[in-house]
Structure 1
Amino acid sequence: MEFSFGFIVSIAIAIYLAIDAPKHNKNPWLWGILGFIFGPIVLGIYLIRTGRKVAGWIIFVISVLLIILFIILFGIGMFFLFNSM
């Protein structure tokens, strides 16, 4: 279920970027592919580059904080997993 939700979010971001990019004289293929691969981080960067700075920075900062949180939790999990042996 989680994998399909993330996949749907990535597709939605890619479609949005591909449709909106020509309005700002950007390459829709480039932004669509980047949006599909990197998701919300690229959406935040795109919004910053197209003049919607507040929304872009909010999305970018939240995305980076969630990635850092995931890495920290993964590290703590690995610590407890290998330390319990």
Structure 2
Amino acid sequence: MESFFGFAINIIITIYLVIDSKKYGKSPVLWGILGFVFGAIALGIYLIKTDRKVIGWIVTILSIIGYIAFILLVGLAILIAMAGFS
């Protein structure tokens, strides 16, 4: 269920970037691919590039913090699994 939620968010971000990039004269194909692959980080960078800097920086920083937290949690889970629960 969680993977479906993440996939759905990336699809929504991709659709938004493709539609909105045409308004600002940006390449919709490029921003669509970036939005699908990188998700919220690409959205934040796009918002910064289109002069919506405050919300762009907020989205970028929060997504980077989220990715770092996810990596740390996975690393902690691997460490606990390798060390055992004793």
Which bracket does the TM-score occupy, shorter chain normalised?
over 0.9
- Paired residue for 2:57? 57
1:81 aligned partner, one-letter code = A
CA distance in 1, matches of 2:52, 2:82: 45
1:81 alignment partner in structure 2 = 81
Query: Percent sequence identity over matched residues?
Result: 52
Q: 1:18-77, CA deviations, whole angstroms, 9 ceiling, x for partnerless residues?
A: 000011110000001110111000000000000000000000000000000011111111
1:15 maps to what in 2? 15
Runs (4+) of structure 1 moved beyond 3 Å? Answer: none
The whole-number CA distance in structure 1 between the counterparts of 2:16 and 2:71 is 28
Q: State the alpha-carbon separation in 1 of the partners of residues 71 and 8 from structure 2.
A: 23
User: In the alignment, does 2:47 pair up with 1:36?
Assistant: no
2:68: which partner in 1?
A: 68
What's the offset of the Cα at 1:2? Answer: 1.0
- Counterpart residue identity of residue 75, structure 2: G
Partner of 1:4: 4
Residue-pair matches, total: 85
Deviation at 1:3, TM superposition (A): 1.4
Q: TM-score, structure 1 length as denominator?
A: 0.95
TM score, norm. by length of structure 2: 0.94
The 3-state SS of whatever aligns with 1:25 is coil
43-52 or 69-78, which moves further after superposition?
69-78
**RMSD between superposed Cα atoms in Å:** 1.1
Question: Partner amino acid for 1:62?
Answer: L
